[in-house]
Amino acid sequence: MEQEITIKVDGTGHRLTVDTRTTLLDALRERLGITSPKKGCDHGQCGACTILLAGRRINSCLALAVAFEDEEIVTAEGLAEDGGLHPMHRSFIEHDAFQCGYCTPGQIVSAVGMLEEASSGWPSSVTADLDADEIVLADEEIRERMSGNLCRCAAYVNIVSAISETAGGEARR
């Protein structure tokens, strides 16, 4: 069964007719040509397909496209600001936080979503003080919050450094 839907990706509306079983990842990649969300495991375990949906990070390989009519979807490309790089993009470059680059868009999108979660006061399983006014994003906290995003090249040290630097300038606004 097919259904016509409109999805908003990186600020642009797209009208599509999709099979009701089409994942959001497949709609983005195969129908719209948006290739930053990657198909890694296709089981929601690696995070390569991470996008922001209404500001929250999700694995697009587990989401059906028809469920997100008129929702705001942001990919790694959509994080760019006025034609320039997002601070997280720049930090990943400066810290050499990638090797093969396959997981990098998902890592960047997840990091941006994670910083928003932390600045909103959402604790993780390693948050030391649940009553604190501000969550301190120490390396352990960042690692826990990013644990759903895997890097087969093991660039984790540089990924954590990139996120930590951006958190120092971005998360505390």
Q: Tell how strand 72-74 and strand 50-53 pair up.
A: antiparallel
Domains of the chain: 2-75 (3.10.20.30), 87-171 (1.10.150.120)
Kind plus residue range of the DSSP H or E element containing 166: helix 156-166
Q: Residue 33: which residues within 8 A CB-CB, separation 6 or more?
A: none
- The conformation of residue 66, written as its DSSP 8-state character, comes to G
Positive or negative CA dihedral for 64, 4, 31, 111?
Answer: negative
- Length of the chain in terms of residues written: 173
The pLDDT averaged over each successive group of 10 residues in the chain (173 residues) is: 96 96 98 97 97 96 96 95 91 95 97 96 92 90 97 95 86 35
21-63 confidence digits (pLDDT tens): 999 999 999 999 999 999 999 999 999 999 999 999 999 999 9
**What pLDDT score was predicted for residue 131?**
86
**What pLDDT score was predicted for residue 134?**
87
**What pLDDT score was predicted for residue 132?**
84
Give the CA diameter of the chain.
50
- Predicted TM-score of the model (pTM): 0.93
